[in-house]
Amino acid sequence: MTAPGPLAARIGALTGTTVRRLTPVSGGDICDAYRADLDRPAAGHGAGRTVFAKTRPGAPADFFAAEAAGLERLGATGTVAVPGVLAAEPGLLVLTWIEPGAPTPAAAERLGRDLAAL
């Protein structure tokens, strides 16, 4: 767990609340990834009290904007479940938190069917 600092302040400003706890998590691949526990649900999003944040210092200005646009396009199809985009700015992407689940054959089959539906 990391103490709230500049990153927590940025996430808080973008979500309209205060970050209580910022914890590094896996899932960022080439980025640093965090679970941010908020004081209250993200403003205007009904997203819950936990969000996922990815950072990448030195990323191109449109790096996270492109990812956010892709997620929004995938989500708009209604075929594949994707996290909601709460904020995207240079160096930071904030998404709704999806609780990790166990990798099961049924989950893999469901994902395969959803991807085929695209």
Query: Whole-structure pTM over 0.85, yes or no?
Result: yes
Reported confidence tier of residue 15, pLDDT bands at 50, 70, 90: very high
Are 6 and 14 a contacting pair, CB within 8 Å?
Answer: no
Largest CA distance in the chain: 42
Mean pLDDT within 37-44? 82
pLDDT of residue 45: 64
d(CA 16, CA 5) in angstroms, rounded, equals: 16
Instruction: Determine the 3-state secondary structure of 105 from DSSP.
Output: helix
d(CA 72, CA 76) in angstroms, rounded, equals: 6
Mean pLDDT within 97-107? 91
Q: Looking at the predicted structure, is the pLDDT value of residue 30 above 60? A: yes
Q: How far is CA 15 from the centre of its chain?
A: 12
Reported confidence tier of residue 113, pLDDT bands at 50, 70, 90: very high
Reported confidence tier of residue 2, pLDDT bands at 50, 70, 90: low
Least confident residue range of 26-30, 37-41, 79-83, 93-97: 26-30
